[in-house]
A and B are shown apart, each in its own frame.
Chain A
């Protein structure tokens, strides 16, 4: 099983600041990596697939990068609605998720 490790577990950021979230795979997943946002009491929502392609309707302040084993999700200027938990997922070999990064208000 491919293990996905996200860091940090919690990220404290002020509104308007940049947030950088990391995701590492235990073996190469090529570009088969997605990012999801989850708010309390809601289902996860797709943000990014193919490591760097924004899903329909996702604002341009969200961007993804990386390939192989190292990936990054960047939120360029945090808005109030962006405070949530973010999960990475590999779909190269079955499907596994990282443990999540909580982005909280500083």
Chain B
């Protein structure tokens, strides 16, 4: 596998379920990101991890719980979600800002539907 991978690609869950999204990057990056993409809205940054430490939590509700066990893996644990949480969840990774090689590489996303 190369680049940034995400599993599952599609997920349907009820409001009382608990599920997790997984992201893995094979690029040697140190920073990883979760974004939410809803229809008609800009991409919303949710969380940023740099060297496994959370550096940004963009006022995300506690029903979303991120976990970054190492620089290559990022999880998003979901529980008691609401229908408005249905969206495409994108993971990205990058090297350090300030480097000329900096760019965020995105995975294909997980399409989440909350019923």
Partners in one complex: no
